[in-house]
Copies of this chain bind each other. A is one copy, B any other.
Amino acid sequence: MTEPTHFTISELAKEFEVTSRTIRFYEEKGLLSPTRNGQHRIYDKADRVRLELILRGKRAGLSLDESREIIDMYAPGSSNERQYRFLLDKVNNKQAQLERQIEDIQQLIVGLEEVRDRCETALKSNKGSSEKYPMPLAYRRIQH
The residues of A with any CB-CB pair to B shorter than 8 Å are 46, 49, 52-53, 56-57, 59-62, 70, 73-76, 79-81, 83-85, 87-88, 91-92, 94-95, 98-102, 104-109, 111-113, 115-116, 119-120, 122-123, 128-129, 131, 133, 135-136, 139, 142, 144
Contact = CB atoms under 8 A, between A and B. Distances in A.
Given A60-B101, A105-B101, A95 B112 contact: yes
A98 B115 CA distance: 15
A46 B99 CA distance: 28
Given A101-B60, A101-B105, A119-B88, A112 B80 contact: no
Nearest to A123: B84
20 contacts: A46-B135, A56-B139, A57-B108, A59-B144, A60-B61, A60-B101, A60-B108, A70-B112, A74-B111, A74-B115, A76-B133, A79-B133, A80-B129, A84-B123, A85-B123, A95-B109, A95-B113, A98-B105, A98-B108, A98-B109
Contact of A123 (B88, B104, B120): B88
Interface of A is mostly: helix
A73 to B, nearest CB: 5
Contacts of A83: 128
